[in-house]
Amino acid sequence: MELKRKDILSLSDLDREEIDLILQTADSFKEVSTREIKKVPALRGKTVINLFFEPSTRTRTSFELAGKRLSADVINISSTGSSTVKGESLLDTARNIEAMHSDFIIVRHASSGVPQFLAKSLQSAVINAGDGAHAHPSQGLLDLLTIKEAKGTLEGLKVVIVGDILHGRVAHSDIHGLLKYGADIHLVAPPTLIPIGIELWGVTVHYHLDEALHDADVVILLRLQLERQNTAYFPTLREYAKLYGLDRRRLSLAKEDALVMHPGPINRGVEVTSEVADGLSSVILKQVSNGIAVRMALLFLLSGGKND
């Protein structure tokens, strides 16, 4: 099977068959990262450009490692190191990169819609590495892979997503992905951080964490996107932590084998206590490891690779 699309912009664009193909391909690539020589020749001669206009540790590094483990040439460009600081437009920057014969442009930007805009103008495959509050599809995919691996299925699971749903591109991608598998999704946040009308997506909204956690199979904690909050959405971080932070007592309300997930970076003591983040239920670092396999799968499949 192959993925017949040029770009990966949002999980809302992908059907369940395409997501299954990506997850199966990622699963088969996981083994490469455990080899002594962590490399296969699948993308030899291809060029991947990481074009990041916002900070990143996990996504940028894992796209770089994914490209390198597939033997592609990978170049990293950050906003501060690019000529956009001298006034060059984003499109001109991208067109100049493409003139150097890039095959993939991985873009992260603070404005929603930038990857879609570039994808229309470029021949290179564009992968959205996070655009504003809109989407973070590779994070959504690695979350699906991590849950499926631990639970054996995505269907029918009770998944509780806690925190900044309003600005949370990870939440939006997780919801789009999980809904395609019939997960029972519960969102929890202060009313100010819940988008109006999100119930229409087919999710249940709560304002109290304890009530939502009962019988949860998975708890996904979101980072407070303070850089996207230009007004006060809640009184203090201390109050947020008290009402919405996951600690050991609250986790005991979920199923005994519930997974604790967080896309990172974590605000320890705010979204989750260290005891829970580093505890036996946490798969937070597994999410990071799975990120490489998912990004390898995306690069491989978008370059025309087949998984039979």
Kindly indicate which of the ranges 71-79, 182-190, 192-200, 260-268 contains the residues binding ligand CP, using the contact rule CB under 6 A: 260-268
Q: Is the Cβ of residue 137 or residue 190 nearer to ligand CP in the bound state?
A: 137
Q: Is 132 in the site for ligand CP (CB under 6 A)?
A: no
N- to C-terminal Cα distance for the chain? 5
Q: How far is the C-alpha of 169 from the C-alpha of 165, rounded, in Å?
A: 8
| Residues recorded for the chain | 308
Among 16, 28, 39, 57, binds ligand CP (CB under 6 A): 57
Q: Report, in Å, the least distance between residue 222 CB and ligand CP.
A: 10
Q: Report, in Å, the least distance between residue 235 CB and ligand CP.
A: 26
Q: Is the Cβ of residue 60 or residue 69 nearer to ligand CP in the bound state?
A: 60
Per-position x/- string for 65-104, each x denoting binding to ligand CP as judged by CB under 6 A, each - no binding: ----------------------------------------
Kindly indicate which of the ranges 28-36, 54-62, 158-166, 229-237 contains the residues binding ligand CP, using the contact rule CB under 6 A: 54-62
- Return phi, psi of residue 161, to 5°: -110, 120
Among 67, 130, 137, 245, binds ligand CP (CB under 6 A): 130
Indicate the angle between helix axes 284-302 and 58-69, nearest 10 degrees. Answer: 50
Helix (H) or strand (E) holding 7: none
Q: Is 264 in the site for ligand CP (CB under 6 A)?
A: yes
Burial 175-202 (b: 16+ CB within 10 A, else e): bbbbbbbebbbbbbbbeebbbeebeeee
Q: How far is the C-alpha of 118 from the C-alpha of 128, rounded, in Å?
A: 10
Q: Is 263 in the site for ligand CP (CB under 6 A)?
A: yes
Among 58, 151, 228, 286, binds ligand CP (CB under 6 A): 58
Kindly indicate which of the ranges 27-35, 57-65, 269-277, 296-304 contains the residues binding ligand CP, using the contact rule CB under 6 A: 57-65
Kindly indicate which of the ranges 56-64, 149-157, 210-218, 274-282 contains the residues binding ligand CP, using the contact rule CB under 6 A: 56-64
Q: How far is the C-alpha of 125 from the C-alpha of 299, rounded, in Å?
A: 9
Q: How many residues bind ligand CP (CB under 6 A)?
A: 9
Strands (E), 94-217: 104-109, 125-131, 158-162, 184-188, 204-206
Q: Is 281 in the site for ligand CP (CB under 6 A)?
A: no
Q: How far is the C-alpha of 296 from the C-alpha of 45, rounded, in Å?
A: 15
Summarize as ranges the residues that interact with ligand CP (CB under 6 A): 56-59, 130, 139, 263-265
